[in-house]
Amino acid sequence: MNPIDAKRTLRSAMLAWRAELREEERRAAADGLLATMRRDRPIETPAVVSGFWPIKDEIDIRPLMIELFNQGCQLALPVVQGKGQPLLFRAWRPGDPLEAGVFGTLQPSAKRETLEPDALIVPLLACDEEGWRLGYGGGFYDRTLTGLRARRAVTAVGVGFDAQLVPEVPHGPSDQRLDWLLTDRRACAFV
């Protein structure tokens, strides 16, 4: 199977698996994610940290973002600028109003300051033990990480449910590896 078809197959399987999770499993996972972050500290604080507002069936990282804010981090949320473009990051604080973005996302107002993150909390559908990540297929985080890493060191922390750690994620030359995976049960650093 070619990499594009392999990604499509894995993406479909992980979306179906995640859709079946019960609400109590989701709440427990959000709590577990926060506990793992407190224990393993993949993000040095204070820092400028980009998170994301969870959509669809993604793990809820909002408690994690509040924790980082309380530790002195400046937070940002991603903004999709357009097809084939890297993400832009706008400042956000817990309680700030959000506006509708593309793909069902929520984002800070265009009036908010644009920031360049030191660390990115990255959504995923799957990740393997080498740090290869499977997203939704738009390539937004790969393009963004390529640009940021060309300028300076940044830390990319994928977040998800523990079962999203899989034996192998198909990847190509434009894919970017994660530095860390943070789940509700473990943290994995990738060398």
Q: What is the pLDDT of residue 34?
A: 96
Closest CA to 51 of 109, 35, 59, 2: 59
Q: What is the pLDDT of residue 1?
A: 83
Q: What is the pLDDT of residue 56?
A: 87
pLDDT higher than 90, residue 17: yes
The total number of structural domains that make up the chain: 1
pTM over 0.75: yes
Domain membership of residue 174 as a residue range: 3-189
Task: Report pLDDT digits (tens) over 123-181.
Answer: 999 999 999 999 999 999 999 999 999 999 999 999 999 999 999 999 999 999 999 99
Are 50 and 155 spatial neighbours (Cβ–Cβ below 8 Å)?
A: no
Q: What is the pLDDT of residue 191?
A: 76
* 154-to-16, 43, 50, 175, 183 alpha-carbon distances in Å: 32, 10, 11, 16, 20
**What's the rounded Cα separation, in Å, for the pair 54 and 51?**
9
Task: Report pLDDT digits (tens) over 98-130.
Answer: 999 998 899 999 999 999 999 999 999 999 999
Q: What is the CATH number of the domain that holds 15?
A: 3.40.50.10420
What would the mean pLDDT of 23-34 be, rounded to a whole number?
Answer: 97
**Through-space distance between the first and last CA atoms of the chain, rounded to whole angstroms:** 28
Secondary structure of residue 17 in the 3-state scheme: helix
Task: Report pLDDT digits (tens) over 29-52.
Answer: 999 999 999 999 999 999 999 999
**What's the rounded Cα separation, in Å, for the pair 89 and 4?**
28
pLDDT higher than 80, residue 95: yes
Q: Across the strands, what pairs with 75?
A: 49, 92
What would the mean pLDDT of 87-98 be, rounded to a whole number?
Answer: 97
